[in-house]
A and B are shown apart, each in its own frame.
Chain A
Amino acid sequence: MNKTSIISIGFIAVMSVFPFFADSAWLAVGITFLVFSVVAFSQDIILGRAGAFHMGHAAFFGLGAYTTAILNTHYGWPILATWAPAVIIPVVVALITTAPIIHLRGDYLLVTTIGINIIFLQILENDLFGITGGPNGIFGIDVVKLFGYEFFDQIDMYYMALILLGITLFIMKTLDGSKFGRAMFYINKDDVAAQSMGINIRYYKLYAFAIGAGLAGAAGSMFAVQYSAVSPEAFDVLQSIMFFTIVLVGGSASLPGVLLGTFVMFVLPEIFREFETARYLIFGLAMILTMILRPRGIWPVKFGNIPAFLKKGKK
């Protein structure tokens, strides 16, 4: 039993019993923490692992949320049935929108992905297809129903989100040792060398965008059900910047780092709500300070020069 497993078991244990000690306000914070950490992990696949500077992730998160909202309120689909499209549609959209720009280097990709987010937002606000509800968004989204039981309680929501986070963590763990994860690792370390080893950079970066968008879409669907409403400002560029920052402040490609980043960037501001107006000023200062003191994030991943999966005697 190594240190990592102890920490992960401790984390899961704490998160599982959290609802019994929290009042409803904190339970809501807890649910959002779980949902946001799923989004942060999906951002980490693209940014931290594939090394693609992506600052438009709120678009895929929002696409999942809106898919569930639209299918449920306009077409009367039960929430459970909207889960699959809420994952598939962001994947398809991510592939279509990023395929033409995936070759762009660093900062160029960053600005065009901001562009994807802004275009998504304007489609929502201008109500392009007449189904997004414009600037007000969509209200009255149903709860999850299964065999006549309604998961309308906050605690039900919480455990659903926890299961989603569990699935995400499992995916992240599996990625590390998979062919895809290894390819990502090399592309991020040195893309020229990776390419000369025969790794198709374009294919793997698109793959990363697809997985990232799918996970974000699943989280978005849950987000829509939690608030039973969606509106454009929840998915604006500021939100994308937040996901981007979570990964880098926490420590990119580091599982505890991303969780810690979500906690620092999302839960701490909730705790300091009394400061109200000065909150984001302090927040900005903290971002600068963190980067100066810990340029690789609060809990950076410990890669030796030899990744764990290449070491002898380890599976």
Chain B
Amino acid sequence: MDIFLQQIVNGLTIGSLYALVALGYTMVYGVMKLINFAHGDLVALSAFAGLTVYTNIFADGGTSIIAVITVFMFTAAIIAVVGVLLERLAYRPLRTAPRLSAVVSALGAGLVIQNAIMLIWGPNMKIFPSDLFPSTIYEINGVVITFTQLMILIFSSVLMIALYLFINKTKMGTAIRAVAIDQDAAKLMGINVNKIIMIIFIIGSALGAVAGLFIGIYYRGITFDMGWMYGLNAFVAAIIGGIGNIPGAMFGGLMLGLFNALISGYISSAWAETFTFMLLIVVLIFRPTGILGEKVAEKV
């Protein structure tokens, strides 16, 4: 029972990270109908950029709450700028092109970011400092939860609730939903579609950046090519939840995190991805548009 509860805690932690990354995928997909294959690499870039920001600005050790907040804000801003540039340079010229052309462009962009990371930071694994968060451990009935895990759970919940309110309660959020439903009609209603897409890339990339930093802090070791696997898992999570659907991405992320943790705990982590994709296939056989996805026919 202890192992089970422990895996639940671990699963929710990983699941929150998946959910943060999945939100970036699902928002871009919802509006542009494009799998942003470069998104996972943005997450990896964030971990490396955050590491550099931290070691350069706070090299003298003093870890304060201000230092951590600065690292997060600064890194998120950098990644948001990269995300906007990505959309401008690689996706906007292809908005009217056949869908698969944009997919190839996204794959190319992912390759560029991944190899840029390798050229800048080198091909070897980098280790995140362990002193960003205090190493306090809480133990409740034999279930261990670290301070980092607690921060991940709290911080990602806050971000997700904030995003949910932003999308559903604000004027800007309404505009985003309108663009997702019908770009042309939204344009006729006076919505600046380019601006909305830019905002989506800012939010999505910033959320991915937060996830990337947490991945660095939680797992410590970061590699230039790690973005692909996190990205793929997060994308699968977005599909399981129902792509284009924001609560769906959160739900899918948490569900996949829990599923992965239980598979790793009870079967074997060597088969984790096999089970992930089997889950995906089973979900899609019964719910072709994901668990929370609406039943809509593809636009002709």
Are these two chains actual partners, yes or no?
A: yes
Q: Could you tell me which A residues sit within 8 Å of B by CB distance?
A: 47, 53, 100-101, 103-108, 110-112, 114-116, 118-119, 122-123, 125-126, 190, 192, 241, 244-245, 248-249, 252, 277-278, 280-281, 283-288, 290-292, 295-296
Q: Hey, which chain B residues are within 8 Å of A107, CB to CB?
A: 29, 33, 35, 243
Q: Mark B29-48, 1 if CB is under 8 A from A, else 0.
A: 10001010000000000000
Interchain CA distance A278-B298 in the complex, whole Å: 40
Q: Could you tell me which B residues sit within 8 Å of A by CB distance?
A: 29, 33, 35, 89-90, 93-94, 97-105, 107-112, 114-116, 118-119, 232, 235-236, 239, 243, 270-271, 273-274, 276-278, 280-281, 284-285, 288, 298, 300
A-B contact pairs, 17 of them (CB 8 A): A110-B35, A110-B103, A112-B277, A118-B277, A119-B274, A119-B278, A122-B274, A126-B270, A244-B107, A280-B114, A280-B115, A281-B111, A288-B105, A288-B108, A288-B109, A295-B97, A295-B98
| Contact call A245/B274, Cβ cutoff below 8 A | no
| Contact call B270/A291, Cβ cutoff below 8 A | no
Q: Hey, which chain A residues are within 8 Å of B102, CB to CB?
A: 291
| Contact call B89/A288, Cβ cutoff below 8 A | yes
Q: Hey, which chain B residues are within 8 Å of A277, CB to CB?
A: 115, 118-119
Interchain CA distance A115-B114 in the complex, whole Å: 21
CB-nearest residue of chain A to B107: A241
Return the contact of B104 from the options A116, A119, A192, A248 (Cβ within 8 A): A248
| Contact call A115/B105, Cβ cutoff below 8 A | no
| Contact call B298/A106, Cβ cutoff below 8 A | yes
Interface of B is mostly: helix
Q: Hey, which chain A residues are within 8 Å of B274, CB to CB?
A: 118-119, 122-123
Most buried by A among B94, B284, B285: B284
Q: Hey, which chain A residues are within 8 Å of B93, CB to CB?
A: 292
Return the contact of A291 from the options B108, B118, B281 (Cβ within 8 A): B108
Return the contact of B105 from the options A105, A108, A287 (Cβ within 8 A): A287
A294–chain B nearest beta-carbon distance, Å:
9
Return the contact of B112 from the options A53, A288, A290 (Cβ within 8 A): A288
| Contact call B119/A278, Cβ cutoff below 8 A | yes
B31–chain A nearest beta-carbon distance, Å:
14
| Contact call B284/A291, Cβ cutoff below 8 A | no
Q: Hey, which chain B residues are within 8 Å of A252, CB to CB?
A: 100
B281–chain A nearest beta-carbon distance, Å:
6
CB-nearest residue of chain B to A123: B274
Interchain CA distance A197-B239 in the complex, whole Å: 32
CB-nearest residue of chain A to B97: A295
A237–chain B nearest beta-carbon distance, Å:
8
Return the contact of A295 from the options B101, B107, B276, B285 (Cβ within 8 A): B101
B278–chain A nearest beta-carbon distance, Å:
7
Return the contact of A111 from the options B33, B101, B109, B235 (Cβ within 8 A): B235
| Contact call B100/A108, Cβ cutoff below 8 A | no
| Contact call A281/B288, Cβ cutoff below 8 A | no
Interchain CA distance A295-B101 in the complex, whole Å: 6
| Contact call B281/A103, Cβ cutoff below 8 A | no
A301–chain B nearest beta-carbon distance, Å:
13
Q: A115-B277, A244-B107 are in contact. List 15 more A-B contacts (CB 8 A).
A: A108-B284, A112-B277, A112-B284, A118-B277, A119-B278, A190-B300, A248-B101, A248-B103, A281-B111, A285-B112, A287-B105, A287-B108, A288-B89, A295-B98, A295-B101
Q: Hey, which chain A residues are within 8 Å of B239, CB to CB?
A: 108, 111
| Contact call A291/B288, Cβ cutoff below 8 A | no
Interchain CA distance A248-B101 in the complex, whole Å: 7
Q: Hey, which chain A residues are within 8 Å of B116, CB to CB?
A: 281
Interchain CA distance A283-B243 in the complex, whole Å: 30
Q: Hey, which chain B residues are within 8 Å of A296, CB to CB?
A: 98, 101
CB-nearest residue of chain A to B271: A122
| Contact call B104/A284, Cβ cutoff below 8 A | no
Known interface pairs A100-B285, A101-B281, A287-B108. Does A111 touch B236 (Cβ–Cβ under 8 Å)? yes
| Contact call A103/B280, Cβ cutoff below 8 A | no
Most buried by A among B109, B280, B281: B281
B299–chain A nearest beta-carbon distance, Å:
11
